[in-house]
């Protein structure tokens, strides 16, 4: 495909107008002012459109689309114990497969090209991602409250098999990460064993860290005053390339450890507001030079995968929380939503509009009444754009979403099957 006469956000996140971008196979092979001689197939007229990197969702639990809007305005423990956990107890592989497809469709509609995704029944998630053409870093969240060895856990077996079968499958679209669910849901023994196993495997780590005050303070009580970051670091978990989700309550030395270990923090501003958890101190993370990416968390606590909306929340919550309207610039937000997310997933070849990089791109309609005048397009992208201004989403050079259509996903089947899942599960819970 050749995008012609289109505005782009280039690799420095600078705006360039009237550009031509040529895609060959899965790569960006031409960026310039003039139409190249090579035949790139379809010519896409970029008038009133912006071409930029797609979004990298750095923390999600995609199959939880089935629980969208299920149990709202409840205290956290009530929500988990009365709604989420009982519902999840009924999930089958088929439920997870179709729920993942639904989440992928929503992701593509809102410009997400790749998702760091922790859940279970992950082989069915892998299947859905492979078929859809989207990218994902999938991990089976491990939790163990008993004195077992790691190798005795079914979740360990699932993780290992998943890694062997799917890591780097789909031409590298799928990566399999290891995952400790969180400090408070496993023993130190399991944590240390998983850290060791992950290092040996050369895999990445995905873990929840300091999401709530209770978790953060509870950890100190449980582990000789250590914060979750310190505790996990001491057990070797952060020695592998790690995505730490939330980090709302990190403090003091935590910042230095995250920086030293090269951890990517996935901030989930909407979910953290919705569950009344708090606001991640992203400005302080930036001061320390820590890589910050953006996640949606699950739609059960969001309740959408509208990444432009997530960017707006990310761009605004720090201003109020830390009382400075200068905090978190649109450029920082756009970088967090794209390149930082790609790097956090171990995908150095994407997340940017650059020659030779993977064509994981989106086209936005920037001609709507919400998008002009343009004093600075970056400001408009973060603060003024609407999720559905995304009109095309491309992964590895293939169009996966375009103006309402999902060429790789049978949406009628997905709707039918997810509604059937809901009916069965809600019926069983009554």
Please list every residue from 47 through 106 that binds a copy of itself, using CB under 8 A. 65-76, 79, 102, 105-106
Between 233 and 272, name the residue whose CB sits nearer to a copy of itself.
Answer: 272
Spatial distance between the Cα atoms of 396 and 408, rounded to a whole number of angstroms: 14
Between 107 and 240, name the residue whose CB sits nearer to a copy of itself.
Answer: 107
Question: What are the b/e assignments for 229-263, b being 16+ CB within 10 Å?
Answer: bbbbbbbbbbbbbbbbbbbbbbeeebbebbeebeb
Q: Is 132 near a copy of itself (CB under 8 A)?
A: no
Between 43 and 80, name the residue whose CB sits nearer to a copy of itself.
Answer: 80
Quick check: 107 and 115 in contact, CB under 8 A?
A: yes
Listed in sequence order, the residues at least 6 apart from 23 whose beta carbon sits closer than 8 Å to its beta carbon are 1, 2, 3, 29, 40, 359, 361, 394, 397
- Pattern of binders to a copy of itself over 135-174, x per CB under 8 A? ----------------------------------------
CA end-to-end span of the chain, whole Å? 51
Between 186 and 306, name the residue whose CB sits nearer to a copy of itself.
Answer: 306
Q: Which residue, among 118, 167, 161, 278, has the nearest Cα to 214 in the 3D structure? A: 278
| One of 24, 187, 329, 408 touching a copy of itself (CB under 8 A) | 329
Considering the complex, what minimum distance in angstroms separates the CB of residue 326 from a copy of itself?
5
Between 174 and 270, name the residue whose CB sits nearer to a copy of itself.
Answer: 270
Considering the complex, what minimum distance in angstroms separates the CB of residue 334 from a copy of itself?
13
Q: 7 phi and psi, to 5 degrees? A: -80, 140
Give, in order, the Cα–Cα distances in Å from 218 to each of 12, 223, 320: 42, 9, 27
Which pair of structure tokens corresponds to residue 308? 């432009």
| One of 35, 130, 201, 316 touching a copy of itself (CB under 8 A) | 316
Q: Helix axis angle, 122-132 relative to 154-166, nearest 10°?
A: 20
Between 220 and 321, name the residue whose CB sits nearer to a copy of itself.
Answer: 321
The span of 121-129, 138-146, 177-185, 408-416 binding a copy of itself (CB under 8 A) equals 408-416
Q: If binding means CB under 8 A, how many residues of this protein chain bind a copy of itself?
A: 72
Which pair of structure tokens corresponds to residue 321? 């929380």
| One of 111, 170, 330, 341 touching a copy of itself (CB under 8 A) | 330
Between 6 and 385, name the residue whose CB sits nearer to a copy of itself.
Answer: 385
Element (H, E) at 3: strand 2-9
Between 177 and 417, name the residue whose CB sits nearer to a copy of itself.
Answer: 417
Considering the complex, what minimum distance in angstroms separates the CB of residue 397 from a copy of itself?
23
Which residues in the 101-130 window bind a copy of itself by CB under 8 A?
102, 105-106, 109-110
Which pair of structure tokens corresponds to residue 318? 């720090």
| One of 220, 319, 354, 398 touching a copy of itself (CB under 8 A) | 319
Between 142 and 327, name the residue whose CB sits nearer to a copy of itself.
Answer: 327
CA angle 296, 301, 303 (to 5 degrees): 70
Spatial distance between the Cα atoms of 381 and 262, rounded to a whole number of angstroms: 29
Which residues in the 268-287 window bind a copy of itself by CB under 8 A?
270, 272-279
Which residues in the 212-271 window bind a copy of itself by CB under 8 A?
270
Which residues in the 409-428 window bind a copy of itself by CB under 8 A?
411, 414-415, 418-419, 422, 426
Between 300 and 357, name the residue whose CB sits nearer to a copy of itself.
Answer: 300
Strand 291-294 relative to strand 205-209, pairing: unpaired
Which residues in the 190-209 window bind a copy of itself by CB under 8 A?
none
Which residues in the 352-391 window bind a copy of itself by CB under 8 A?
368-370, 372-376, 379-380, 383-389
Give the torsion through C-alpha atoms of 31, 37, 40, 46, to 10 deg.
50
Listed in sequence order, the residues at least 6 apart from 307 whose beta carbon sits closer than 8 Å to its beta carbon are 55, 57, 107, 110, 111, 112, 294, 296, 337, 387
| One of 167, 303, 338, 345 touching a copy of itself (CB under 8 A) | 303
Between 172 and 283, name the residue whose CB sits nearer to a copy of itself.
Answer: 283
Quick check: 194 and 153 in contact, CB under 8 A?
A: no
| One of 302, 350, 352, 393 touching a copy of itself (CB under 8 A) | 302
Listed in sequence order, the residues at least 6 apart from 351 whose beta carbon sits closer than 8 Å to its beta carbon are 53, 56, 338, 339, 340, 341, 342, 343, 357, 360
Considering the complex, what minimum distance in angstroms separates the CB of residue 253 from a copy of itself?
26
Q: 335 phi and psi, to 5 degrees? A: -65, -45
Considering the complex, what minimum distance in angstroms separates the CB of residue 131 from a copy of itself?
16
């Amino acid at each position: 495909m050749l995008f012609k006469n289109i505005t782009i956000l280039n690799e420095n996140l600078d705006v360039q107008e009237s550009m031509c971008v040529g895609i060959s196979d899965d790569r960006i092979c031409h960026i310039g002012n003039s139409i190249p001689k090579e035949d790139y197939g379809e010519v896409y007229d970029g008038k009133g459109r912006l071409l930029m990197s797609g979004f990298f969702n750095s923390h999600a639990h995609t199959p939880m689309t089935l629980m969208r809007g299920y149990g709202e305005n409840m205290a956290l423990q009530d929500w988990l114990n009365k709604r989420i956990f009982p519902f999840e107890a009924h999930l089958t592989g088929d439920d997870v497969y179709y729920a993942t497809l639904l989440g992928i469709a929503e992701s593509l509609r809102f410009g997400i090209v790749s998702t760091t995704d922790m859940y279970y029944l992950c082989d069915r998630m892998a299947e859905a991602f492979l078929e859809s053409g989207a990218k994902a870093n999938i991990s089976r969240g491990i939790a163990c409250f008993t004195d077992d060895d790691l190798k005795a856990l079914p979740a360990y077996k699932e993780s290992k098999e998943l890694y062997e079968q799917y890591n780097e499958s789909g031409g590298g679209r799928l990566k399999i990460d290891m995952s400790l669910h969180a400090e408070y849901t496993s023993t130190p023994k399991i944590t240390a064993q998983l850290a060791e196993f992950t290092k040996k495997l050369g895999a990445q780590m995905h873990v929840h860290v300091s999401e709530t005050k209770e978790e953060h303070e509870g950890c100190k009580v449980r582990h000789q005053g250590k914060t979750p970051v310190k505790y996990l670091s001491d057990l070797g978990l952060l020695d592998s390339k790690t995505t730490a989700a939330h980090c709302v309550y990190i403090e003091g030395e935590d910042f230095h450890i995250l920086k030293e270990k090269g951890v990517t923090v996935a901030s989930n501003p909407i979910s953290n507001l919705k569950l009344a958890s708090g606001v991640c101190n992203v400005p302080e993370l930036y001061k320390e030079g820590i890589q910050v990416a953006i996640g949606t968390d699950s739609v059960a606590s969001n309740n959408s995968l509208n990444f432009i909306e997530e960017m707006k929340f990310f761009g605004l919550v720090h201003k109020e929380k830390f009382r400075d309207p200068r905090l978190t610039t649109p450029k920082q937000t756009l970088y967090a939503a794209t390149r930082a997310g790609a790097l956090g997933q171990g995908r150095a070849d994407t997340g940017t509009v650059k020659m030779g990089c993977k064509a994981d791109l989106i086209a936005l309609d920037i001609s709507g009444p919400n998008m002009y005048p343009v004093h600075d397009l970056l400001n408009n992208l973060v603060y003024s754009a609407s999720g559905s201004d995304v009109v095309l989403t491309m992964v590895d050079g293939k169009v996966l979403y375009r103006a309402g259509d999902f060429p790789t996903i049978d949406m009628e089947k997905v709707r039918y099957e997810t509604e059937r899942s809901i009916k069965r599960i809600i019926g069983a819970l009554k």
